[in-house]
Amino acid sequence: MSETKKCRLRVGRVFLAMVLTAGTLFGADTIRRSLESHQPYNLTIHGDFRNSEDNAEPLTGNSLSYGTTDEATTAFEGIKYLGYSEFELSKDDISKGILSVYTDKAPASVSDQGHMVDLAEEKNEFYSIVDEKSYLLNKDAAGALNRMMEDYANEIGLADFMVYGTTDTFTGEDSLCPKKFSESKAGYCVDLALNAYGNVLEYDGCDAEGWVVENCWKYGFVVRYPEGKKEKTGNEYCPWHLRYVGEVHAAIMSSKKMCLEEYVDYLEQYTFEEPYSFTFNSESYQIYSVSGNDDRLETRVPISGNYELSGDNRNSFIIMQKN
């Protein structure tokens, strides 16, 4: 091969190498700029942005690095909160929700009510209502009550329960519910009596009808004022007064034998960083509290929307997320 051809080949190879090198550098720089300008959605970065020349040791753990041949490497450390968004809570809503503790000094009001339905229109055939008048109840609680009464009728063979009150309770002469409760207006409560061949009898939680006291937690209800808890609740045992708190919370309260006051106190120790974990019906849940003295509190909630929020009518909000 002549010297002229060899020279041309060398020049061609050098030119090709230069083109490939330039393309590689341009591509790397493009990737770097893209990463810098497009942060992942809903991602909060914790830690310092550090120059690679200051790092005597390679980065380890939960970190991401990228760079070019002539620029400093940037590292992200402590990537947290992926899948969560910031959420602001207002103390104006602290009295709303299925876990709010209402007392005579801090009673429920109409503004605390959740979505309501009329039991006269929503009830099934497995129980009755006194006087067939309007009884408003939270929609989820009404559906749970229907399921519970149907299962009770199928297992026990009776359909003898009557709803005696929801947002209000008859406490006049011959009343079988001798006391009104400050929480009833919120729409999560059901007062029960028994229908005995047209006669209304007091429900004492005993005999075959005791099935409701023993099993109501499976449907999201608890006996709001359980036996032996007067020191905490301020009320004697009232098996006829049920409170809807949702299936998961009711299951935890039942397993720990807690009344509502004890339960919300128990949850105060759990935070977003260290939540309470619980498995119910093969599904995993995490529960945490958010509290503070400010009128507005900040926390994080899943961007998926798989969470429930309730105030406790004291100083905290309780968030339950489904994983």
Q: What is the CATH number of domain 101-244?
A: 3.30.1380.10
**Tens digits of residue pLDDT in 129-181:** 987 778 999 999 999 999 999 999 999 999 999 998 899 766 666 666 667 78
Backbone angles phi, psi at 13, to 5 degrees: -65, -40
Whether 46 shows a pLDDT value over 70: the answer reads no
Q: What is the pLDDT of residue 168?
A: 79
Q: What is the pLDDT of residue 280?
A: 96
Q: Which two structure tokens, joined as six digits, stand for 271?
A: 């935070």
Are 191 and 251 a contacting pair, CB within 8 Å? no
**Tens digits of residue pLDDT in 14-34:** 555 555 555 554 554 554 444
* Distance from C-alpha of 132 to C-alpha of 47, rounded to nearest angstrom: 64
| E strands present in 181-264 | 189-196, 199-202, 221-223, 241-244
Q: Where are the domains of the chain?
A: 3-77, 101-244
* Distance from C-alpha of 320 to C-alpha of 260, rounded to nearest angstrom: 16
